[in-house]
């Protein structure tokens, strides 16, 4: 298992409203940051949903220290894509 700080980019998750992809920064096995590389892009509604859901998903990830987080109500598609890409990144980082 890797030690030190590193950043791993998850797989692109294809959703009904466009791609979702995150990159995770870890210090050892501790998740220190999650950044969205690609977010759903199906117009104004997607932007609005992403604007309120992504910060919640990120905060929950940092608290849970895993991809075992709840979807955000009203943002199921964004949440599912985020969690899928997050799990992919963690699988790579912790392999």
- Segment 1-15 shows an average pLDDT of 87
Tell me the Ramachandran region of residue 43: left when phi exceeds 0, alpha when psi lies from -120 to 50, beta otherwise: left
pLDDT in tens, 22-33: 999 999 999 999
Cα 57 to the center of its chain, rounded Å: 7
Annotated domain spans of the chain: 5-93
- pTM for this predicted structure: 0.93
pLDDT in tens, 45-93: 888 999 999 999 999 999 999 999 999 999 999 999 999 999 999 999 9
Kindly report the CATH number that applies to the domain delimited by 5-93: 3.90.1010.20
Count CB neighbours of 44 within 10 A: 7
Banded pLDDT at 2 (limits 50, 70, 90): low
Closest by Cα among 29, 28, 22 to 8: 22
């Amino acid at each position: 298992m890797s030690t030190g700080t590193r950043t791993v980019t998850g797989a692109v998750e294809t959703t009904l409203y466009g791609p979702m992809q995150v990159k995770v920064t870890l210090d050892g096995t501790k998740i220190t940051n999650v950044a969205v590389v690609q977010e759903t892009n199906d117009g104004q509604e997607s932007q609005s949903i992403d604007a309120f859901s992504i910060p919640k998903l990120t905060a929950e990830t940092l608290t849970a220290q895993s991809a075992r987080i709840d979807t955000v109500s009203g943002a199921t598609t964004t949440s599912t894509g985020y969690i899928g890409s997050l799990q992919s990144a963690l699988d790579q980082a912790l392999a």
